[in-house]
Amino acid sequence: MSAPSLSRGRKDPAPVNPFLPAAPPPEPVQEAMPVDELLGEDLAATGPARPLGIQAPVGASLPRTFAGPEARTYMVGLHGGAGVTTLTQLLGEQVAVDAGTKVPLGGTPKVLLVARTHAAGLAAVQRAGQVWAAGQLSDVELLGLVLVDDGPRIGKAQLSACRQVMQILPRTWRIGWVESWRTQTTPEISAAPLRVRRTVNQLRAIGAPRTVNSTTNEGNPS
């Protein structure tokens, strides 16, 4: 009596035609960008493009410092610990300059204000908005404000306060909380969610030095 065949019940793989192209690899899953609770589907909120000419409270001002000509964008914190150093690292030294907490004087520098979303940070934004609305920063090209989350979650009262200050300045961006940055000496943009990565890319594009294409008219010899 012959031994049973070991191949009984087992399906052989389908033959591969070497003359046909290989099947394409599966498409990568597209990462969806969630709707932001402050900005919706947008990356930035838009406010008044120019100062409204509103009188600032007595004594309202922002600290200033003289600075040389600079094509890059100054990142100015409205309070200590605003996140200026982190943002400057994310945008890169070709785009951004860490200006600490003082608005530069000299020329017409490009400036991005930076503040945290806690109560002290939003109060600082309110004061800065009053100074700008009164025309006291007319020598500055104010690009807008970057709000940096001060924790992994923002309460309803904070969200309401954020919405109020977002109407003060020309544009407002938000950098959400990235837990891994707490343990990194230099923040890695690859570790951030899609919305944060796209926001940083937009800030890089807006803050980048302008390139001027000049043409020389040498004229025709007579």
The pTM of the full predicted model, rounded to 2 decimals, is: 0.81
Q: Which residue, 209, 192, 212, 185, is CA-closest to 74?
A: 209
> Ranked by mean pLDDT, which of 28-32, 84-88, 165-169, 209-213 comes out on top?
84-88
% of the chain beyond a pLDDT of 90: 71
Mean pLDDT of 116-121: 97
Quote the CA–CA distance of 37 and 24 in Å, as a whole number.
38
50 DSSP 8-state letter: S
| pLDDT value at residue 16 | 60
**What residues form DSSP beta bridges with 74?**
97, 111
- 52-82 residue pLDDT tens: 888 888 888 999 999 888 999 999 999 999 9
* Three-state secondary structure call for residue 64: strand
Predicted pLDDT at 53: 86
Phi-psi region of 53 (alpha: psi -120 to 50; beta: other; left: phi over 0): left
Fold of 44-207: Rossmann fold (3.40.50)
Digit-coded pLDDT (tens) for 163-211 = 999 999 999 999 999 999 999 999 999 999 999 999 999 999 999 997 6
Q: How confident is the model at residue 214 (pLDDT cuts 50, 70, 90)?
A: very low
Residue 88 has pLDDT above 90, yes or no: yes
Report residue 162: phi and psi, to 5°: -65, -45
Evaluate the CA torsion angle 151, 155, 158, 163 in order and state its sign: positive
